C-alpha cells in the first residue's frame, strides 16, 4: 500500500494538515495501518494509530446502530412517532407526524436549524452566536420557532438535520432508561472492543492520547479546543484501531469476533437508501440509517459517512460484498477525506484510483494552475485552483473570476463563467508542448 501512503502524505503536505491516521480493513483484520504527522505540533509528538480524534458525524451511524439495537430488543419501532417518546415536542406542528425513521434518514421535512454548527463555531472561535442545546429541555426551547421552518411533509425531501440526531439520542436515553453515552458504551463500544472510544472530556483526559485540535487558517495550523457537546449527532472521540473494529462488524454482517452485535435483517435496513441527498458523487446516492449509500461504486455497493467538527475531520467507508473497509482521521480541516477514503478502497480493489473521475478532475485542475501569457507577453493571467473550481485573474480580465468545469478529457477542458449575465466559455487545451487557454479574444500559453 505504499502508493496509497504516498498519496495520503502528499495531500496532507499539500494542504498543511497536522496529521492523518488510517486503517484499512479486510474481512476480520486490519490489512494496513499508518499514521503521519504530528498529534501535537508544538511539542513535536508524532501521531499513531492509537491516537484519538473527533469523528464528527460518523457518530450518527453509531446512534443509528443504538436505535437499531432497541428495535431488535422490541422496545421501539423505526416507524414510531417521535412524540410517542418525546411528548414535550407536541406543542410544535413540525413534529406531529415525524417518525424515528424520518430523523434517521434526514427526511423530517424541517430544514437545518444550525444548533450544532453554532456550538462548534462558538467553541473554536468562529462565531459569537450561542444556543446552549445541552439537554432535551434546551432543544425544546430552541425549537420555539421551528414551525416556521417546515419545508415539506415528512418523508418527501432530504434536509441534513443535526437536531434530529440529538433527538434520537434523547429517545435512546428515554426508552432504555440509560444515558445515551452509557447505552452506546454497553451495547456498541464494549461488544466491539472499542475500549478507547469516548464521549466525555473526563474519559479522554484520563486516557491521555488524543490529537490536538487545530484550526487551519491560510495554510497555518492554529491550536484550538475540542468542541464538546455534539453528543449523538457528532460527539464520539475514537482512533483508527477502534474504528476498524466497527468497520469489521459491518463487513461481517453484524458480527465481531464471531459474536452477534446486531442482526443481519436490521443491519440491512440501516444500509437501505430511503432519502436522496441534493449533492453526491454518484447518481444513485441515497441515505439510510446513519449511512450514505451508493449501489454502484465501480460495480460495488458502498456505505460511508464523513464527519467534521471544524478542528477534526474523519471518513469511514466500506464495501460489504468485497469485505473491504477504511477509516481516516485528521486533526484539521483541509483536504477532502472522502476522496482519500475512496482512493484507498479503489486501491484495495486492485484498480487504478487515478482513473476515478473525481481524482482525475482534481489532477487536471492542479495541472492547469499557473501563469499564462499572450502574444509576446503583452497580457498575462494567473490560474489558481479553489476546491472544485478554477480562479482566473489578470490584466484586462479582473480578479478572482470563477471558472466552473463543464467538460473535460485528456486533451481539452472546457469551463465557463458569467460576464454581464452572459455565459462565457473558457477552453484549455493540453498539448505535448504545453497548455494553452482561450479566454475571450486572447490566446494564452502557460509559462
Task: For residues 291-307, give the mean pLDDT.
Answer: 96
Task: For residues 306-317, give the mean pLDDT.
Answer: 96
Position 181 pLDDT exceeds 80: yes
Span 221-265, pLDDT tens digits? 999 999 998 999 999 999 999 999 999 999 999 999 999 999 999
Neighbours of 356 (CB within 10 A): 19
Q: What is the DSSP string of 59-94?
A: HHHHHHHHHHHHHHTTS--TTSBGGGT-GGGGGSGG
Position 109 pLDDT exceeds 90: yes
pLDDT score, position 128: 76
Q: Residue 394 in contact with residue 382, Cβ under 8 Å?
A: yes
E strands, 161-265, are: 214-217, 220-223, 237-238, 255-256, 259-260
Give the Cα separation of 9 and 65 in Å (integer).
Answer: 33
Position 419 pLDDT exceeds 90: no
Q: For 49, left (φ over 0), alpha (ψ -120 to 50), or beta?
A: alpha
DSSP letter (8 states) at residue 56: G
* SS3 category, 372: strand
pLDDT score, position 368: 96
Position 398 pLDDT exceeds 90: no
Q: Residue 320 in contact with residue 342, Cβ under 8 Å?
A: no
Position 334 pLDDT exceeds 90: no
Grid cell in block for residue 26? 479486510
pLDDT score, position 120: 87
Half-sphere exposure of 101 (CA within 13 A, CB side): 17
Grid cell in block for residue 86? 418525546
Task: For residues 362-385, give the mean pLDDT.
Answer: 94
For the domain spanning 364-446, the CATH number is: 2.40.128.210
pLDDT score, position 164: 96
Q: Which stretch of DSSP H or E encloses residue 406?
A: strand 398-408
CATH superfamily placement of domain 2-355 = DD-peptidase/beta-lactamase superfamily (3.40.710.10)
pLDDT score, position 337: 94
Give the Cα separation of 404 and 266 in Å (integer).
Answer: 42
Task: For residues 113-130, give the mean pLDDT.
Answer: 82
Q: Residue 314 in contact with residue 330, Cβ under 8 Å?
A: yes
Position 191 pLDDT exceeds 80: yes
Position 127 pLDDT exceeds 80: no
Position 1 pLDDT exceeds 80: no
Residue 355 Cα distances to 160, 185, 342, angstroms: 31, 41, 12
User: Residue 311: which of 228, 197, 199 has the closest Cα?
Assistant: 228
DSSP letter (8 states) at residue 179: -
Neighbours of 384 (CB within 10 A): 14
Question: What mean pLDDT value characterizes the chain?
Answer: 94
Counted residue by residue, the chain has a size of 447
Question: Domains of the chain: which residue ranges?
Answer: 2-355, 364-446
User: Residue 167: which of 192, 193, 142, 190 has the closest Cα?
Assistant: 142
Task: For residues 180-195, give the mean pLDDT.
Answer: 97
Position 125 pLDDT exceeds 80: no
pLDDT score, position 126: 77
pLDDT score, position 296: 93
Give the Cα separation of 438 and 433 in Å (integer).
Answer: 16
* SS3 category, 329: strand
H helix count then E strand count, the chain? 13, 22
334/191: higher pLDDT = 191
Span 4-48, pLDDT tens digits? 999 999 999 989 999 999 999 998 899 999 999 999 999 999 999
- Mention every residue, 6+ apart, whose C-beta is less than 8 A from residue 48: 21, 35, 39, 209
Torsion sign, CA atoms 319, 323, 324, 330: positive
- Bridge partner list, 336: none
Position 130 pLDDT exceeds 90: no
Confidence grade of residue 136 (pLDDT, cut at 50, 70, 90): confident
Position 315 pLDDT exceeds 90: yes
Q: Burial letters for 122-140: b for 16+ Cβ neighbours within 10 Å, e otherwise?
A: bbbeeeeeebebeebeebb
Position 446 pLDDT exceeds 90: yes
- Mention every residue, 6+ apart, whose C-beta is less than 8 A from residue 74: none
Task: For residues 356-377, give the mean pLDDT.
Answer: 93
pLDDT score, position 131: 80
- Mention every residue, 6+ apart, whose C-beta is less than 8 A from residue 245: 192, 193, 194, 256
Give the Cα separation of 64 and 287 in Å (integer).
Answer: 12
pLDDT score, position 218: 79
Amino acid at each position: 500500500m505504499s502508493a496509497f501512503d504516498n498519496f495520503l502524505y502528499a495531500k496532507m503536505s499539500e494542504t498543511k494538515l497536522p496529521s492523518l491516521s488510517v486503517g484499512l480493513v479486510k474481512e476480520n483484520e486490519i490489512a494496513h495501518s499508518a499514521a503521519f504527522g504530528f498529534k501535537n505540533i508544538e511539542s513535536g509528538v508524532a501521531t499513531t494509530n492509537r491516537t484519538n480524534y473527533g469523528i464528527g458525524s460518523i457518530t450518527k451511524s453509531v446512534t443509528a446502530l443504538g436505535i437499531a439495537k432497541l428495535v431488535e430488543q422490541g422496545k421501539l419501532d423505526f416507524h414510531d412517532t417521535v412524540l410517542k417518546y418525546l411528548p414535550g415536542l407536541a406543542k410544535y406542528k413540525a413534529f406531529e407526524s415525524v417518525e424515528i425513521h424520518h430523523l434517521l434518514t434526514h427526511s423530517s421535512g424541517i430544514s437545518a436549524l444550525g444548533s450544532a454548527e453554532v456550538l462548534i463555531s462558538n467553541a473554536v472561535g468562529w462565531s459569537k452566536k450561542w444556543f446552549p442545546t445541552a439537554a432535551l429541555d434546551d432543544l425544546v426551547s430552541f425549537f420555539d420557532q421551528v414551525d416556521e421552518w417546515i419545508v415539506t411533509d415528512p418523508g418527501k425531501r432530504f434536509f441534513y438535520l443535526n437536531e434530529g440526531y440529538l433527538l434520537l439520542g434523547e429517545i435512546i436515553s428515554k426508552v432504555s432508561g440509560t444515558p445515551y453515552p452509557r447505552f452506546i458504551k454497553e451495547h456498541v463500544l464494549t461488544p466491539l472492543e472499542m475500549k478507547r472510544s469516548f464521549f466525555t472530556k473526563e474519559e479522554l483526559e484520563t486516557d491521555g492520547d488524543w490529537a490536538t485540535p487545530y484550526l487551519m487558517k491560510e495554510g497555518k495550523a492554529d491550536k484550538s479546543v475540542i468542541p464538546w457537546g455534539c453528543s449523538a449527532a457528532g460527539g464520539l472521540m475514537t482512533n483508527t484501531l477502534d474504528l476498524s473494529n466497527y468497520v469489521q462488524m459491518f463487513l461481517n454482517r453484524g458480527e465481531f469476533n464471531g459474536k452477534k452485535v446486531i442482526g443481519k435483517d436490521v443491519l440491512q435496513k440501516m444500509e437501505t437508501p430511503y432519502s436522496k441527498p441534493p449533492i453526491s458523487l454518484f447518481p444513485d446516492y441515497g441515505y439510510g440509517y446513519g449511512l450514505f449509500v451508493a449501489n454502484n461504486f465501480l460495480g460495488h455497493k458502498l456505505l460511508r459517512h464523513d464527519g467534521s467538527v471544524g478542528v477534526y475531520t474523519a471518513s469511514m467507508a466500506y464495501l460489504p460484498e468485497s469485505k473491504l473497509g477504511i477509516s481516516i482521521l485528521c486533526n484539521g480541516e483541509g483536504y477532502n477525506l472522502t476522496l482519500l477514503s475512496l482512493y484507498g478502497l479503489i486501491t484495495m480493489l486492485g484498480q487504478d484510483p487515478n482513473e476515478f473521475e473525481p481524482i482525475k478532475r482534481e489532477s487536471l485542475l492542479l495541472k492547469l494552475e499557473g501563469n499564462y501569457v499572450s502574444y509576446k507577453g503583452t497580457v498575462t493571467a494567473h490560474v489558481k485552483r479553489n476546491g472544485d473550481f478554477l480562479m482566473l485573474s489578470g490584466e484586462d480580465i479582473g480578479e478572482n473570476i470563477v471558472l466552473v468545469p463543464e467538460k473535460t478529457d485528456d486533451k481539452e477542458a472546457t469551463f465557463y463563467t458569467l460576464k454581464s449575465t452572459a455565459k462565457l466559455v473558457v477552453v484549455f487545451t493540453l498539448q505535448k508542448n504545453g497548455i494553452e487557454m482561450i479566454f475571450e479574444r486572447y490566446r494564452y500559453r502557460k509559462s
